[in-house]
Homo-oligomer: A and B are copies of this chain.
Amino acid sequence: MSSRIKIVLLSVILWLSTIPAHAQTQGAIPGVPPDLIEDIVIGSRVLADFGVVDGFGHVSARDPANASHFLMSRSLAPALVSADDIMEFDQDGNPVDARGRSVFLERFIHAEIYKARPDVMAVVHTHSPGVIPFSVSKTQLRAVFHNGAFLAGGVQVWDIGKQFGTTDMLVRSNEIGKSLAQALGDKPVILMRGHGDVTVGPSVKVAVFRAYYTDVDARLQAQAIGLGSDVTYLTPEEGAKADTVNFVVLDRIWNLWKQRVQPK
């Protein structure tokens, strides 16, 4: 290929890259505002950027145009997710219009939580390295500081083996997803034994914030335990009050994250 053609193509590519990510997909899924798609993209990338997810994990949002459906990327590493990768799934986790795209094995986590929790507008699943140790330990994850306040109401560990015996550890069916959703109850976070965690929230931003600060809080708690003295945790009442503030300051950190991972 000649250099001239290459330069022309590169110019076109550069020009394409100046069109904002959501402009390109506007209208791709009927009734879905581009901002929501963008939040899923930013959330996926920022969790990858902080190592809360590596090649695995996913961020979803309830479909505003059809409350029993949800939106999630095709099967792809979170760091690589773009607006074009977001697909629509029905209440049982079936893709509405797959067009040959492969989907996440564990989409049932999302489907069953949206079914069980009408208040939940977003779900994040990670293999958070700070959290996994707590998923296999008798030591309970607790709220160490105010940004982890949403943990102060208590965090359960769901052990897939309790109900399903020997498995491949994955939430690969609606039945398993339902068991996980039941264990989550009305809480914002649930740990999965030998696997990771799920965080939920009234928006993508909140669910991502919780995935991030569950990881941070877990690391802080592990360090505090390592000091060898008694540890003082936030009381459930302090947690309830402090978590209200998290919602107020959320945009401050979200704007930072957006700049970090915004597709240029």
A residues with a Cβ closer than 8 A to B are: 1, 6, 9, 12-13, 16, 54-56, 75-77, 79-80, 105, 127, 129-130, 132-139, 143-147, 149, 159, 161, 166-170, 193-196, 216, 219-220, 222-235, 237-238, 241-242, 244-245, 248-249, 252-257, 259
Q: A132-B144, A168-B242 are in contact. Are A227 and B194 (CB under 8 A)?
A: no
Q: A105-B245, A234-B194 are in contact. Are A80 and B256 (CB under 8 A)?
A: yes
4 interchain residue pairs of minimum CB distance: A55-B253, A138-B229, A77-B256, A133-B224
Residues of B within 8 A of A16 (CB): 1, 6, 9
Whole-angstrom CA separation of A136 from B132 in the bound complex: 22
CB pairs A–B below 8 angstroms (26 shown): A9-B16, A54-B256, A55-B252, A55-B254, A56-B252, A75-B252, A105-B245, A105-B249, A127-B145, A132-B145, A133-B144, A136-B224, A136-B231, A136-B233, A139-B227, A139-B229, A146-B168, A159-B232, A161-B238, A166-B235, A167-B238, A168-B238, A168-B244, A169-B242, A170-B242, A193-B232
A245 near B168 with CB under 8 A, answer: yes
Give the contacting residue for A127; candidates B13, B147, B248; CB below 8 A: B147
Q: A136-B232, A226-B225, A238-B169 are in contact. Are A147 and B56 (CB under 8 A)?
A: yes
Number of copies: 4
Give the contacting residue for A166; candidates B136, B223, B238; CB below 8 A: B238
